[in-house]
């Protein structure tokens, strides 16, 4: 019986800029995205029918889950893909702005591609993934990339220098459509500098990467959920110069170039934020090893 185990990495936005609202209702964005080693684990195995098992009570075990939509999509395109049981062990918080659902979806597609030796290349996988969500193409690849369009156009960037993150996800969620719907791009005069971040990546300058970070969506999310701004301010006051909201929120992360400083900060805030998470940048080797096969035909 064919089986696969997939490590599905979360993502953060080092820079997130919104340029305008498009005629199709989406927003034109420019984002520098980075994979981090906070990850879900996905087990795939052939079964009598498609079904999902998960250890997270907030995820309904039905076919509406993105991971199961990925199974259905791959079976529609490739009839040799058998019914599958998907076992999802969650470590990435749900509705956190960390692409947890998108990376699980990408992980399932990557696992199926390898299980059945489909031979799909990166471009083909990204094209298929884009049918299910804007963040999925990035989650197919990474670890560092520029995302444009509505987020589905991916251009690989030089790998980020080693960075370390302490993440805090509030108990509440934030609706991404509401955040974008509340955003008044034309009224915002200062935008994050995507090109400065790209230059810093090319120069492998960790400190410059940190000082170039920015997220235009903070304007909207802070207005809708003032507690996210309070969290950011509190995390900055705890001793970090580089604190940013990830995606549309509500997760906020503190970023460091030195692991010792990050660990010290992590230990400091764990009493106030018991759910705080520690993570670091993902490298290419980690991506290449994220799918492992078991069993036989």
Would you name the residues annotated as active-site residues? Answer: 11, 135
For the chain, where are the alpha helices, taking DSSP H only?
A: 66-77, 100-115, 122-130, 136-140, 176-182, 194-202, 206-211, 218-224, 226-237, 259-269, 284-288
Q: Give the chain's count of helices (H) and strands (E).
A: 11, 12
| Cβ-based neighbours of 65, under 8 Å, separated by 6 or more | 52, 59, 101, 104
Residue carrying structure tokens 């064919």: 2
Per the CB < 8 A criterion, the answer to whether 98 and 38 are in contact is yes
Q: Is 197 exposed, middle or buried (0-12, 13-18, 19+ CB in 10 A)?
A: buried
Distance from C-alpha of 156 to C-alpha of 142, rounded to nearest angstrom: 7
* The token pair that represents 241 in the structure block: 């110069």
SS3 274: coil
Per the CB < 8 A criterion, the answer to whether 250 and 96 are in contact is yes
DSSP 210-232: HHT-EETTHHHHHHH-HHHHHHH
Per the CB < 8 A criterion, the answer to whether 297 and 4 are in contact is no
């Amino acid at each position: 019986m064919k089986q696969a185990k997939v490590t599905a990495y979360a993502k953060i936005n080092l820079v997130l800029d919104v340029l305008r609202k498009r005629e199709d209702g989406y927003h034109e964005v420019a984002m520098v995205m980075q994979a981090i080693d906070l990850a879900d684990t996905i087990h795939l195995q052939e079964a009598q029918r498609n079904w999902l098992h998960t250890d997270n009570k907030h995820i309904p075990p039905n076919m509406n889950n993105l991971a199961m939509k990925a199974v259905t999509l791959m079976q529609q395109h490739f009839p040799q893909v058998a019914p599958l049981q998907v076992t999802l062990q969650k470590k990435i918080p749900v509705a956190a702005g960390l692409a947890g659902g998108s990376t699980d979806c990408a992980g399932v597609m990557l696992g199926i591609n390898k299980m059945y030796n489909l031979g799909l290349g990166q471009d083909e996988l990204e094209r298929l993934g884009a049918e299910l969500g804007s963040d999925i193409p990035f989650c197919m690849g990474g670890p560092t990339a520029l995302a444009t369009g509505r987020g589905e156009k991916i251009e690989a960037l030089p790998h980020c220098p080693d960075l370390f993150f302490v993440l805090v996800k509030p108990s509440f969620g934030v609706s991404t459509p509401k955040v974008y719907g509340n955003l008044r791009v034309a009224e915002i005069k200062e935008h994050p500098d995507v090109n400065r971040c790209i230059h810093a990546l090319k120069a492998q300058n960790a400190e410059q990467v940190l000082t170039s970070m920015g997220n235009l969506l903070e304007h909207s999310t802070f207005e809708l959920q003032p507690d996210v701004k309070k969290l950011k301010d509190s995390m900055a006051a705890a001793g970090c110069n580089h604190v940013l909201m990830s995606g549309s929120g509500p997760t906020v992360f503190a970023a460091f170039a030195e692991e010792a400083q990050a660990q010290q900060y992590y230990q400091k805030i764990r009493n106030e934020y018991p759910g705080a998470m520690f993570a670091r940048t993902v490298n290419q080797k980690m991506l290449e090893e994220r799918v492992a096969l078991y069993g036989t035909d």
